[in-house]
A and B are shown apart, each in its own frame.
Chain A
Amino acid sequence: MRAIKSWWLLVAFLSGFTLAMMAEELVLNWRNDHLEFSAPRVHFLRGQPLELLHNAAPVPFNFQVTIWSGTHNHVFEQLHDRFVVSYDLWEERFKVVKTQSPRRVAEHLTADKAEAWCWEQMSLASDTTGLGGSEPFWTAFEIRAEDGKGGPLFGRSITDSGISLTSLIELFSRPPGAQQSHWGPYEAGPYTLDELKKSPHRGL
């Protein structure tokens, strides 16, 4: 009896470990007629960017989400935005400014909440009008922090050029810098809207 229990415990652990390893970086939900993005396993407020933030340096993060439909060659939608994150030395909380129109600000956030808020803003920008319910689509995302020596923190004001949509698109057309923190691109699919509407939590 004891031997069987141990065996099942081992299987359960290995299954859980395997499932965890297979878990997706980007989780898609369908909520309020919108695609809702989240990435609970991707933490960009860590490592070098967090070190800079704790040293009172504001750090811009550039987001890019791409959706392909029909065939993998057709870009259905591409979303870009820049979030400037700063860390309040006295309150020990984060402030995030979404710099693309519509400009939005969130303050007094923990690190997890700040990350989630950025994904929420990306979700709000998404528009699936024109995408058929049964039409297959793929998605990918990439995040880049401007924390390298060539970034806007060092010598230039964070309000300098580089905030426009055109420059964001151009930025993602180049590979990230050697000292630049970046996450992705993570890519998965194909999935359909009908499938997502039936299953409220679907990872890609």
Chain B
Amino acid sequence: MKTPWVSSGNRARSALAGLVAILMTLATPLAGCGLPDDDERAARELDVNSRYTVESVQVSGERNVTISDPLRLELDKVVGAKFDHSALERLADRLRNELRVSDVKVNVTRGTEPDHVIVNFEVKSREQKFDLNVAKFLYDSKEGWSGDGNATTHLKGNLITFGLVSDGDSLVERFAGIRAKFERKKVGTDRLGFRFEFDSYHDMWNQATLEQAQPGDIYRSRQVFTPEATLVIVEPLEWSFGVSFARLRVPYSSSDTEGGGAAAAKTESSNAVVNTLRYHQRWGSAHDPQEQEVTAVYSAEAATDLLGTDRVFTRHLADARYRFRHDRNSVEVRFMAGLLNGAAPIYERFVLGDSTTLRGWNRFDLDPLGGSHVIYGSVDYRYRMFQIFYDTGAIWDRVQDREQKQSVGVGFRKDLTEKESFQLAVAFPMRAGHVDPIMYAGMSF
């Protein structure tokens, strides 16, 4: 049995934990989940062990445990305090949620000193070997249904995923097909992981796109193979790097060559080096009265002749979100900017007007081919399940085409888990002339 983390009265606390404590104190004056005095007194009377002092706290289990700084601080606070079983169960619940394990059991034994006790949180790994999840399930009143379902098997630290996708929301094209993924999150060290992903999709196109596209832009299908490694530079900053090999089936008319009129297709390649920097930090949890979360992603792709690609391009995208919750009120602010140079395939082009960006606008009204430049911002406010949002952004190829668009919306959103939610919303594009709202309903988007 490993004991990856131990906290005791004389344990030196990390500088980062101290910094977080200061930030939490400044930014979250109401943070903390202590019982009111009356309840504390009552609990003390009911529990004979409440007169004892906690000597040390351990977290143990069958796997390495990485605990966030805010939660580690909460665990540190228990050391030296009077024993409170209810508070320990709440911490076990937080550990269970944060570590995504099947169970965390609180074990209490006598301490080495009289009238002291030792607390051990025993982490039990998820025994589930097979997992089914719906990454996306969405109805858009303009584009219809989109769905993305995955089956994942866990085999000795490896994740093998097989998925079925039909998505008419996130790209210019509607793509439907399969996804297969192999992932190992730890290769020799906790800091390095790798994954291989293979996608095979058939593509369908909106009439507006077909009318504006050049011959050779439209493809019937695409297969993408992406080997990628992820390195944790400094918690919580990660760098992923790899190569994306794409094969596109591009139809052309053979009338130009011989026989005349027969449909044919040729294969083109789009191979690019992919780099992604990802930062995700969270202060507090769903159990605390106050919670903050920052997620920032910067990705850069470069398809060069060195990789034997038919499409040469570079693509940069920065996407950042900040979420602040106080009790039942929460505000989320998002900013996104992207730049594309060269002859990228359409699935690499930027889109606004889907279920997550510039909601309410039809993306084919904004740019039927997708854009090479994008800038976008949004503010979401939620009270309990009620949600209102404001989106603004622009997408363009030429500077003279750049035009700021705005939309507002209302709806309901219910978080089912940390990553899954159900949402029902109506979004209104802000434009002169007429109102043409779009309704969204679905999960996990």
**Contact indicator B89/A155 (Cβ below 8 Å):** yes
B106 touches A55 (CB 8 A): yes
Q: Contact check, A56 vs B83: say whether CB atoms are below 8 A apart.
A: yes
Report whether B48 and A87 are in contact in the complex, using a CB–CB cutoff of 8 Å. Answer: yes
A79-120 contacts to B, CB under 8 A, are: 84, 86-90, 94-95, 97, 99, 105, 107
**A97 adjacent to B110 (CB under 8 Å):** no
Residue of A90, A97, A99 contacting most chain B CB atoms (<10 Å): A90
Residues of A within 8 A of B89 (CB): 153-155
A32 within 8 A of B: no
- Mark the stretch among B2-10, B35-43, B138-146 that contacts chain A: B35-43
Residue B114 lies at the interface, judged by CB distance under 8 Å to chain A: yes
In the complex, how many angstroms separate the beta carbon of A117 from the nearest chain B beta carbon? 14
Chain A, interface size category, equals 20 to 34
The docked-state distance in angstroms from the alpha carbon of A159 to that of B109 is 23
Whether B117 lies near A89 (C-beta < 8 A) is: yes
| CB under 8 Å from chain A, chain B span 81-130 | 83, 85-86, 89-90, 93, 106-110, 114-115, 117
Residues of B within 8 A of A155 (CB): 86, 89-90, 93
With CB as the reference atom, state the residue of chain A lying closest to B94: A155
Task: Report the minimum CB–CB distance from A93 to chain B (whole Å).
Answer: 8
A97's contact among B45, B86, B93, B114, by CB below 8 Å, is which? B45
Interface presence of B47 (CB below 8 A): yes
List residues of B (39-91) whose CB comes within 8 Å of A's CBs. Answer: 39, 42-43, 45-49, 52, 83, 85-86, 89-90
From B42, B52, B108, B110, residue with most partner A Cβ within 10 Å: B42
Hey, which chain B residues are within 8 Å of A58, CB to CB?
46-49, 85
Report A45 CB to chain B, min CB distance, Å. Answer: 14
- In the complex, what residues of B have CB within 8 A of residue A90's CB? 52, 110, 114-115
CA distance A159 to B93 in the complex (A): 18
- The 26 sampled A-B contact pairs (Cβ below 8 Å) are A55-B106, A55-B107, A56-B49, A57-B108, A58-B46, A58-B49, A84-B47, A86-B47, A86-B48, A86-B49, A87-B48, A88-B49, A89-B49, A89-B109, A90-B52, A90-B110, A99-B46, A107-B48, A153-B89, A155-B89, A155-B93, A157-B43, A158-B43, A159-B38, A159-B43, A160-B39
Interface residue ranges, A against B (CB under 8 Å): 55-58, 84, 86-90, 94-95, 97, 99, 105, 107, 153-160
Beyond A57-B106, A57-B108, A89-B52, 14 extra complex contacts between A and B, CB < 8 Å: A57-B85, A86-B46, A86-B48, A86-B49, A88-B48, A88-B49, A95-B48, A97-B45, A153-B85, A155-B86, A158-B46, A159-B39, A159-B42, A159-B46
Pairs of residues from A and B, 7 with the lowest C-beta to C-beta distance, nearest first:
A56-B108, A95-B48, A159-B42, A157-B86, A86-B48, A58-B47, A84-B46
